[in-house]
Structure 1
Amino acid sequence: MSPLPRGVRRAMLLRSFAVQGSWNYRTLIGTGMAFVLAPALRHVHAGDAERLRAAVARHAELFNAHPYLATVAAGAIARLEAEGAPPELVGRFKNALRGSLGSMGDRLVWLTWRPACALLMVALLLGGAPWGVAVAAFLVSYNALHLWMRVWGLNAGLRDGLQVARALREAPFERLGDWAGSAGAFLAGLAAVLAVGWGETPGLPYTALGAAALAAGVLLGPRVRIVAGIGLAALLIAGVVLASNS
């Protein structure tokens, strides 16, 4: 059961989209976190302007996390503030959370999900889909995870407070990352084949090449990310050059 009213939770979620709006080298997203927490702090410290100012100042200090998972910390911290936890405990809790939230989000979003969504867009373009359809596919697939992470994170933090680490362990982030890695490898193979055969009429050699590339992508996946990435980039460039010269 959340200790905060629905309006406060909604305001925190909307503000989380601007958590990087005041990013700087001194506090990183610390001031952004204070901005996200401000509705909860105003609710908790209503009628006590001095305590409110002190709480905002404490939460404007150095903090960093993946922006999509910053809501986990915001929700948990808001719960601790609502329960009257000592500032020292809240500070230690924030320091313990920030490394995990950064690494988990980076591995899932930047290393697997975003590349897979971009490869989906490239494969659609090379396959003849209109630009609008390809771009819409990227935006919808990418933001489906992005928006879910923000909403899930805030709810998990508000629900679990100090015990939010359990929710992070049980979240399907690793499975989603594995799935996105496999899907990205599949789409990379497909995009390479489409680029090499761009403008050509598919025949038996083309079909065989496509099957081989798709199978290699699925079987090898991210285990050969660097080598495969270089090879696929070379194939994509070669396909574009050949198509432009034909």
Structure 2
Amino acid sequence: MSSAPKGSGAAPETPLPPGVLRAVQLRGMFVQASWNYRTMQGNGMAWAMLPVLRRASEERRAAALDRHAEHFNGHPYFDSVALGALSRLEVDEADPETIRRFRAAIRGPLGALGDRVVWATAVPSFALLAAVLYWMGVPGAVVAFVFLVAYNALHLAIRAQGFALGWEAGTAVGPRLRGLDLTGRAERFAALTLALVGVVSGVLLAGGRGVGALEWPWFVAALGAFFVGYVGGVRLWRPTAIVTVGAVAILLALGSASLLSG
């Protein structure tokens, strides 16, 4: 391994073969496979980095495995950023204490960013779009396919681009992430999704498949959702995301049961 750069800026003096980096990325898909209450994702992170750590001296490899198996609790998709940056630090043979401090500092922000972008925005938005497609009469199998393609395309892109960003930026990955404004993009995407849901819902309620076809539970739910959204605005989006998706699922079940019984 090289000892010149220390994890940021210029490329390592001895670049790793692409196959090694790909192996780390693929292993990163399974960081939660050995999740436990003591180290959480720590064992998975250490296992994912083995292809890089094997190229170190035996003494450094043993110490590196120990520190990367320590407690780590980020986000399973955005952990790829940490894997890239930590791999870069190990390749550059950065000071072990620097690596440990960087590892501890990055896990919380990555977890919060992933929660905001993925769990609180992308998943509810994709679920709402899927519900609208189903409401419009698109076959259920097609709706499920569209949802799975959109969701998996997002998380695979986050994993691939996140690892590349971490490897390139090293310890400077924080400012690079802030420059991408992922939270702002997620908020704009959520706003567009809600606007689309509102437009399509209005068209369906006003059309031939309107109140009479949807029956009173759908109409009351639509009015209630409009009122809550009008009063609360985007402030209510995050805390009510799970409730919203659950309500949509219940309404879909009621509508399906009504159609089957009819």
The equivalent position to 1:156 in structure 2, one of 155, 165, 187, is 165
Q: Give % identity.
A: 39
Q: Flag as ranges the 4+ runs of structure 1 deviating above 2 A.
A: 1-4, 48-51, 186-197, 200-206, 212-230, 232-246
Amino acid at match of 2:121: T
The equivalent position to 1:201 in structure 2, one of 194, 208, 215, is 208
- When structure 1 is superposed on structure 2, of 150-159 and 213-222 the one drifting more is 213-222
Number of residue equivalences: 237
Inter-CA distance 55–203: structure 2 relative to 1 (3 Å threshold): closer
Matched, 1:178 2:187: yes
Question: Structure 2 stretches of 5 or more lacking a match?
Answer: 1-10, 214-218
8 Å CA contact 1:196, 1:239 repeated in 2? no
1:146 is aligned to: 155
State how far apart, in whole Å, the 1-side matches of 2:199 and 2:261 are: 22
TM-score norm. by structure 1 comes to 0.81
State how far apart, in whole Å, the 1-side matches of 2:203 and 2:255 are: 8
Inter-CA distance 85–124: structure 2 relative to 1 (3 Å threshold): same
Inter-CA distance 239–131: structure 2 relative to 1 (3 Å threshold): closer
State how far apart, in whole Å, the 1-side matches of 2:154 and 2:226 are: 26
Inter-CA distance 67–181: structure 2 relative to 1 (3 Å threshold): same
The equivalent position to 1:30 in structure 2, one of 36, 42, 67, is 42
State how far apart, in whole Å, the 2-side matches of 1:191 and 1:241 are: 22
8 Å CA contact 2:204, 2:210 repeated in 1? no
| Pairwise CA distance, 1:194 | 8.5
1:122 is aligned to: 131
State how far apart, in whole Å, the 1-side matches of 2:116 and 2:227 are: 23
Q: Equivalent residues in 2 for 1:206-217 (5 A)?
A: none
8 Å CA contact 2:229, 2:236 repeated in 1? no
Inter-CA distance 204–245: structure 2 relative to 1 (3 Å threshold): closer
The equivalent position to 2:143 in structure 1, one of 126, 134, 150, is 134
2:98 is aligned to: 89
8 Å CA contact 1:182, 1:218 repeated in 2? no
Inter-CA distance 110–15: structure 2 relative to 1 (3 Å threshold): same
SS at 2:54 equivalent: helix
TM-score norm. by structure 2 comes to 0.77
| Pairwise CA distance, 1:127 | 1.3
1:12 is aligned to: 24
1:99 is aligned to: 108
